[in-house]
Structure 1
Amino acid sequence: MAAETLNGLKVAILVTDGFEQVEMTEPRQALDEAGAETRLVSPMDGQVKAWNFKEWGDTFPVDMALDSARPEDFDALLLPGGVINPDKLRALPEAVAFVKAFFDAGKPVASICHGPWTIIEAGAAHGRRLTSWPSLKTDLQNAGAQWVDQDVVVDQGLVTSRKPDDIPAFNPEVIKLFASARGPSRQAAAE
C-alpha cells in the first residue's frame, strides 16, 4: 500500500450510529496513512456511536454534518457496514442522494458488509458484480447485481468486501481504486 499515494485525496466516510467499528477505523487508518484526508460525514450531530461486534463500541466525532456535506467536495466515498448503520442510512433520502451523487459523478466507492444496502437504495447496484455480508445476496440480486462470495471484488469503480475478516484484502484494493480517482493530471500535481 505504501507505493500508492493518496496525498490530498478527500474521502467522505458516511456513517450513523451502529456502524461496525473496525469497518470504519481500519480502512480509515489505511487511507490516512496513504495520505488521504478522511472526514466522517453523518446525519447525527456531534458524534456517532459504533457497534463493536456484539455490543456498543466507541464514539467518534462527526467531522461534517450530512446536510452541509457536498459530494462535489470529495473524491471518493467509504461506506462501512454493520447492520444498524446502513439500514438507517438507506431510509434517509439525503443519505441516499449523497451516495447516488458519487456514482453519478463516476467517483470511486468502497463498501463492506451491509454497506451495499445504501448502494441498492441509490440505484447503483444494478449491473455491478459485488460482494457483501451473505444475507444481502438476495437483496443485491433483486436489485440487478451479480453477487459473489469472495473476500474482495472490484467492479466499475466500486470495491466491496463481506466482513471484518476481509479487511486485509479490502484495504489495499480501496487504496488502489481511490488512487485512480486522481486521473493523470491530479496524480502529477500531488507528487
Structure 2
Amino acid sequence: MKRILIIATDGFEQSELEQPKKLLEEAGAETVVASLETGTIKGWEDGDWGSDVQVETTVDKVSADDFDGLLLPGGQINPDVLRLNDTVIDLIKSFDKQDKPIAAICHAPWLLIEAGLVDGKVVTAWPSVRTDLKNAGGDVIDRKVAVDGNLITSRNPDDIPAFTEALIDAVKIPAENVVEHI
C-alpha cells in the first residue's frame, strides 16, 4: 500500500486537504496527517474557519523514508506558517532528495520556494503566488496541473481532481484501484 504524508496546520484550505485525502484513500493509499502539534487543526472555508481535522503525528516524528509521496494543501495561512518551520522545510527537501512526488496546491508552492526547489521547474499556483515562483526561478504556467520531475503543482480547489490524479500517477497506485473523478 502506498503511503502519502499530508503536512498542514491551522488555516489550511478545507477542500485542498479533505478532497485529495479522500480520493487518495479511495485509490487505495494510506494517508497520514502531520502537523506542528498533536490534536486537531482547523481548516479555512468560504472566508471563515472551517472544520477540524485530526492530526495523526507531528512533523518532528516522521521521515520521508516512510512515505511514497507528500501532499501540501494550500490556503493562505497554512503554508505561510509552515514555511517558517525548519523541520517542515527539511522534510520537504528530504522528499525531494529521494525523488519522491511532492504535490503542492494553491499557496502551498510557497513551501517549495522556501525549500529551494522551484528554480528551473515548470510550476503553477494561486495567482498571487506566481510572481514569487517566477522570482524563485520557476517557469510559471496557468494550467490545472504542472508536473515537472517529482513536483506537482496546481492553482486552486477547482483543480483538485486533476491534481490528485497526477499524484496518484506519480506514486504509481495500481490503475485498478483508481476511481475516475475528472
Secondary structure at 1:124 match in 2: coil
The 8 Å contact of residues 110 and 159 in structure 1, kept in 2 or not, is answered as yes
TM-score by length of 1: 0.88
1:154 Cα shift? 1.0
Aligned residue for 2:35? 42
TM-score by length of 2: 0.92
The 8 Å contact of residues 20 and 53 in structure 1, kept in 2 or not, is answered as no
Deviations 1:164-191 (A, max 9, x none): 01112222112111217xxxxxx7xxxx
Distance, in Å, in 2 between the alignment partners of 1:40 and 1:17 is 12
Distance, in Å, in 1 between the alignment partners of 2:88 and 2:126 is 21
1:53 Cα shift? 2.6
Which one-letter code corresponds to 2:64 in the other structure? P
Which one-letter code corresponds to 2:75 in the other structure? G
Aligned residue for 1:171? 164
Aligned residues: 174
Confirm or deny that 1:119 pairs with 2:117.
no
Match of 2:99 among 106, 109, 114: 106
Aligned residue for 2:146? 153
Match of 1:81 among 70, 74, 79: 74
Distance, in Å, in 2 between the alignment partners of 1:111 and 1:21 is 14
Aligned residue for 2:49? 56
Aligned residue for 2:83? 90
Q: How high is the sequence identity, in percent, across the aligned residues?
A: 46
Q: After TM superposition, where is structure 1 displaced by more than 6 Å over at least 4 residues in a row? A: none
Distance, in Å, in 2 between the alignment partners of 1:156 and 1:60 is 30
The 8 Å contact of residues 160 and 170 in structure 1, kept in 2 or not, is answered as yes
1:32 Cα shift? 0.4
Distance, in Å, in 2 between the alignment partners of 1:65 and 1:166 is 28
Deviations 1:82-103 (A, max 9, x none): 0000000001111111111101
Deviations 1:57-97 (A, max 9, x none): 00011011111111211110000000000000001111111
Structure 1: which 5+ residue stretches go unaligned? 1-7, 181-186
Distance, in Å, in 2 between the alignment partners of 1:73 and 1:167 is 25
Structure 2: which 5+ residue stretches go unaligned? 175-182
The 8 Å contact of residues 70 and 102 in structure 2, kept in 1 or not, is answered as yes
RMSD of aligned C-alpha atoms?
A: 1.2
